[in-house]
Amino acid sequence: MFAPEHGLDPGREQVYGVVSLIFWAITVIVSVKYVTFIMRADNDGEGGIMALIALIQRANLRSRGAQITLVLLGVFGASLFYGDGMITPAISVLSAVEGLEVVDESLEQFVVPITIAVLTMLFASQRFGTGRVGVLFGPVMVLWFSVLAISGFARMLEHPEILQALSPHHGAEFLFNHGHEAFVALGGVVLAVTGAEALYADMGHFGASAIRRAWFALVFPALILNYLGQGALIVGDPSASGSPFFQLFPSWALIPMVILSTVAAIIASQAVISGAFSVTRQAIRLGFLPRLVVRHTSKEEIGQVYVPAANWIIFAAVIALVLGFQSSERLASAYGIAVTGTLAIDTLLFFFVVRALWGKPLGLVVAGASAFLVVDLTFFAANLTKILHGGWFPLAIALAVFSVLTTWQRGREIVSARRIEEEGPLRDFVEEVRECDPPVARAPGTAVFLNANPETTPLALRANVEHNHVLHECVLIVSLTTERVPYIAEAERLSIDDLGYRDDGITHITGRFGFQDPMDVPALLRLAAETGLEGDPQLDHPSYFVSRISIVPSNRPGMATWRKKLFLAISRNAANPVEIFHLPDERTVVMGSHIEL
């Protein structure tokens, strides 16, 4: 904020004003808004903006249009979060490694290569999961925040009058007395609260109570003491404003601090990446993304997940940012738009949840929302000045992600509706087969048909009867569900429905799995045979039939042509059901069907 191009002199009044703004921004936005209030809004333990979208969808809003608008606003906020998730690792690690320049200016040429190496190791380690990484990261963060607190407190003792900066009147006077410079400075202040949305999105990984304890007992006081220490340093030596953080330490401690701050930056990046995994998983569950490979990395916590596709897409974008911007100062100009936009959208969605789902008084809701929105929108306006200097990047990323999410959601709705039309009700199909004259030929053996919708007929089954005029002696229709617990006991694993007829050889099986249970269909069928499946299903060597939908773009209304092409491109990246359900390749038949989009 005291960089020469901003035109702000590091005088006592200005330093007090800046420190005051930082203190109150962290207090109001993080401590009060997120940690105290917004974290109460969880979707079965999951946090983040996608959790707010799920709650909005549950709410009984009188206007369907208002609900759709809020959901779309939330989707755009989630898209902004992905932009934030790409910039945060780049700027965090880059700014930490730049501490080498304070040690020796000749080391500048090594900053970008070291940053890329560190980021590569960070993203490669994601497959081990939050729990395992946290065993190492937790103690390091305790050391990091302890060092922040001690270094800041030591400098603060040299100029204890810096404590006056905690009074809000210094921040107010600074804003009123310095006009444009103060407005631009707000774009720097917001950098102190980046990560608030990631903190909320990580609820599924750590739990709300753990986050609250860590924040109020260690993180919040350590940050404030360090910012006060930096302010005290500049008050005593205005020339220190070029790099106040590293100048808090004696020269012998610079290299250890560069190493420690780099590790801390890696961990800060980890929080955002973990949040991106949580948001991606929730987007899949809410129907905004296709079924991707999601690996649960914990045997206890459903929220601890690893999404390979999201990991490597973010990694590629982060490396491109480091190579493109080359310094944290340039990256800072791109930072802020995504963060402040998400802050404001979170506020709006949260207070709609408070009103529509929790039934709080309208006056209280309006007052609370207005107070927080004034802060959020002020910061957002201050960051609009950054658009031409790099702020366009997170906006471009957000628009691209928004297009993908909304296109998949709309296309899935259309395809699902048309697929249901093609499939038809399952019980009606069974009745038709039973009363068919002449009877449908029955082939020996057992056929297993996977079907997501337990009420409709698998397309592969219908096609087998209509085109091949044959039905296996034993037909098993299998639907699978995933519960929010790690494991499901075998006694509760399945339910069997003979669909009203015991003698026609068609049975519906519903399998329930915990998030840590492998969705192993052959094992499920063996369990079904052991627990009372009627007849002789010959489950040693059944044939598995999977319906593969070929989506054909057409002139039918519903979506623009470019969105239809985008939907087709996304659908090609959906996970392979043969791998997900552990089906044997040599006994799996994929039957295609066409659905017009």
**Cis, peptide link before residue 438, omega less than 30° from 0:** yes
386 with 454, same domain: the answer is: no
The DSSP annotation for 372-384 comes to HHHHHHHHHHHHG
| Whole-number pLDDT of residue 35 | 93
Q: Residue 491's pLDDT is what?
A: 79
| Number of alpha carbons in the 13 Å side-chain half-sphere of residue 126 | 27
Does 420 reside within a domain? no
How many structural domains are present in the chain? 2
Question: Is 419 part of any domain?
Answer: no
According to DSSP, residue 156 is labeled H
The predicted pLDDT at position 29 comes to: 94
What is the DSSP track for 388-399? GGTTHHHHHHHH
Q: Of the candidates 362, 386, 411, which is a domain's last residue?
A: 411
The domain in which residue 541 lies consists of: 425-596
Give yes or no for a contact between 120 and 266, defined as CB atoms under 8 angstroms apart: no
Q: Is the same domain home to 156 and 218? A: yes
In a domain, 458, yes or no: yes
Tell me the whole-structure pTM to 2 decimals: 0.76
**Per-residue confidence (pLDDT) for residue 21, from 0 to 100:** 94
565 Cβ partners below 8 Å, 6+ apart? 553
**Same domain? 503 vs 563:** yes
Which alpha helices (DSSP H) does 424-513 contain, by range? 426-435, 459-468
Task: Please give the Cα distance from 551 to 597 (Å, whole number).
Answer: 6
For residue 271, how many other CB atoms are within 10 A of its CB? Answer: 23
One-letter amino acid for residue 377 of the chain: L
CB distance 519 to 488 below 8 Å: no
Other CB atoms within 10 A of residue 510 CB = 16
Per the domain annotation, does 497 fall within a domain? yes
Residue 252 lies in a domain: yes
* Same-domain check for residues 407 and 432: no
Same domain (yes/no): 333, 429:
no
425 bridge partner residues: 456
Let me know the angle formed at the C-alpha of 175 by 174 and 181, rounded to the nearest 5 degrees: 90
For the beta carbon of residue 101, count every other beta carbon within 10 angstroms. 17
Instruction: Assess whether 455 and 494 both reside in one domain.
Output: yes
- Nearest Cα to 575, choosing from 163, 294, 237? 294
State whether 479 and 388 are in the same domain: no
CA-CA distance, 253 to 240, in Å (whole number)?
A: 17
What's the confidence (pLDDT) of residue 484? Answer: 61
Per-residue pLDDT of the chain (597 residues; tens, 9 = 90+): 777 766 778 888 889 999 999 999 999 999 999 999 999 988 777 788 888 888 888 777 777 788 888 888 888 888 888 887 788 888 888 888 887 777 777 777 888 898 899 888 888 877 776 666 667 778 888 999 999 999 999 999 999 999 999 999 999 998 888 877 788 788 888 888 887 877 888 887 778 899 999 999 999 999 999 999 999 999 988 888 878 888 898 888 888 888 888 888 888 787 778 778 877 877 887 778 887 777 766 665 555 777 888 888 888 988 888 888 888 777 777 777 888 888 899 999 999 889 888 888 989 999 999 999 999 999 888 888 778 777 788 888 889 989 988 888 888 888 878 777 777 788 888 888 777 777 788 888 888 888 877 788 888 888 778 777 788 888 888 888 877 666 788 778 888 887 766 667 788 888 888 766 778 888 888 888 877 665 555 566 788 888 777 777 777 777 888 888 888 888 877 777 777 788 888 888 877 666 777
Residue with tokens 């607190």: 149
**Residue that finishes a domain, picked among 351, 376, 411:** 411
Q: Could you tell me the CA-to-CA distances from 327 to 51, 386, 387, 393 in Å, in that order?
A: 34, 16, 17, 15
CB atoms closer than 10 angstroms to residue 469: 11
**Dihedral in degrees, nearest 10, Cα atoms 327, 333, 336, 338:** -90
- Taking alpha carbons only, the member of 508, 589, 597 closest to residue 548 is 589
Rounded (5°) CA angle 182-37-139: 85
Residue 334 forms part of a structural domain:
yes
**Chain Cα centroid distance, residue 208:** 16
Same-domain check for residues 488 and 385: no
Q: How many CA atoms within 13 Å lie on the side-chain side of 334?
A: 27
| Cβ atoms of residues 302 and 131 within 8 Å | no
Do residues 433 and 465 touch, judged by C-beta distance below 8 A? yes
Distances (CA, A) of 262 to 141, 266, 312, 330: 12, 6, 21, 19
Q: How is residue 456 written in tokens? A: 């409709």
Closest CA to 544 of 472, 454, 447: 447
Whether residue 60 is found in the same domain as residue 172: yes
The helix or strand, by DSSP H or E, that contains position 477, with its residue range, turns out to be: strand 470-482
- Is there a contact between 557 and 384 (Cβ–Cβ < 8 Å)? no
CA–CA dist 180, 190 (Å, integer): 16
Q: What are phi and psi of 556, to 5 degrees?
A: -65, 145
Residue 7's φ and ψ, nearest 5 degrees, are 70, 25
Q: CA 532, 538, 541, 543 torsion: positive or negative?
A: negative
| CATH code assigned at 211 | 1.20.1740.10
pLDDT at 262: 81
Q: Are 471 and 441 in contact (CB under 8 A)?
A: yes
**Pair 590, 576: CB distance under 8 Å:** no
Q: What are the tokens at 173?
A: 């006077």
**End of a domain among 386, 411, 436?**
411
Instruction: Kindly state whether residues 432 and 387 are assigned to the same domain.
Output: no
Instruction: Please check whether residue 388 lies inside any domain of the structure.
Output: yes
Contact 256, 180 (CB under 8 A): no
pLDDT of 301 reads: 59
In the numeric block, which tokens belong to residue 61? 């809003």
Contacts of 150 (CB under 8 A, 6+ apart): none
For the chain, the straight-line distance linking the first and the last C-alpha, in angstroms and rounded, comes to 52
pLDDT score for 215: 94
User: At 596, which helix (H) or strand (E)?
Assistant: strand 588-596
DSSP state of 588: E
Residue 40 lies in a domain: yes
Burial class of residue 363, CB neighbours in 10 A (0-12, 13-18, 19+)? exposed
User: How far is residue 551 CA from its own chain's centroid?
Assistant: 28
Biggest distance spanned by C-alpha atoms of the chain: 98
CA dihedral 410, 411, 414, 419 (to 10 degrees): -140
What is the predicted pLDDT for the residue at 539? Answer: 63
Please provide the size of the chain in residues. Answer: 597
Co-location of 112 and 27 in the same domain: yes
Pair 66, 166 in one domain:
yes
Provide the 3-class DSSP secondary structure of residue 193.
coil
